[in-house]
Amino acid sequence: MTELRLMAVHAHPDDESSKGAATMAKYAAEGHQVLVVSLTGGERGDILNPAMDLPDVHGRIAEIRRDEMARAAEILGVQHTWLGFVDSGLPEGDPLPPLPEGCFALVPLEESTERLVREIRRFRPHVMTTYDENGGYPHPDHIRCHQVSVAAYEAAGDYRLFPDAGAPWSVSKLYYNHGFLRKRMQSFQDEFAKNGQTGPYEKWLKDWDPELDVVASRITTSIECSDYFQQRDDALMAHATQIDPTSFFFSTPMEWQKRLWPTEEYELARSRVPISLPETDLFVGIER
């Protein structure tokens, strides 16, 4: 097999384990190179696991999240690099407070794009994955991640742009992750009911924004990767400050997940190679 290269661009550590992780583990296990790029260090993330909400953790969150990311990458079998920007946090309130000075979402787009272009030209990926224009959800870093990723995809192959960032490299395809699908959650909720149990997705389904259903219509590519769902979950739990192992994320039995929804979904956003939709492989159309 000729080795191919996949770059997954994410806003924070732990995003890589909740969005496309099984796909990455699959390709890594098949002998391809997979690189996760974390744009920020997640320094402003809250501690979401009560068991980790300890005094000595709060002062060391940046260091701890680096260690968590290293462990998750090891579990998935992927390479990892930090792009070095500072987490913007998630502003809340009405009106929204301003973003912190110097944070990733406020860095000039040209500066952050050049840094990602440098990494693209070094790693030379055939395929990139990132978030859509809504960021998956409206976190300022996720939206900026989309903007930077698209700009870098377009710029990396242009010798006139960022000439000091390495030799030009044209990425063949760019995909958006699409993981939170109503049909997927409903299938799990229905399975709980069939087994006489109360499923954990009732509130999510009740409060579902119909506009989110547009995402399902944009899916072009489904990757069968159920053999790697356990690696996905193990990698997610490696981010112990962010993930409560008793949360509903892990409540659906693995057998149900593999049987009812064995795939991860993507939207092909850009391609420089001929395509035929739908797809079952991110690398389809790329010469091996």
Please state the residue numbers annotated as binding site: 12, 15, 142
Q: Whole-angstrom Cα distance, residue 157 to residue 130?
A: 18
Specify whether the CB–CB gap between 162 and 154 falls below 8 A: no
Helix-helix angle 21-29:61-76, to 10 degrees? 50
> What does the DSSP assignment read for the chain?
----EEEEEESSTTHHHHSSHHHHHHHHHTT-EEEEEEEE--TT-----GGG--HHHHTTHHHHHHHHHHHHHHHHT-EEEEEEEPP-----SSSPPPPPTT-GGGS-HHHHHHHHHHHHHHH--SEEEE--TT-SS--HHHHHHHHHHHHHHHHTT-TTS-GGG-S----SEEEEEE---HHHHHHHHHHHHHTT---TTHHHHHT--GGGHHHHHH--EEEE-GGGHHHHHHHHHH-TTT--TTSGGG-S-HHHHHHH--EEEEEEEEESS---SSBS-TTTTS--
N- to C-terminal Cα separation, the chain: 7
Backbone angles phi, psi at 9, to 5 degrees: -100, 125
User: Which residues sit in the known binding site for Zn(2+)?
Assistant: 12, 15, 142
Q: Whole-angstrom Cα distance, residue 279 to residue 288?
A: 17
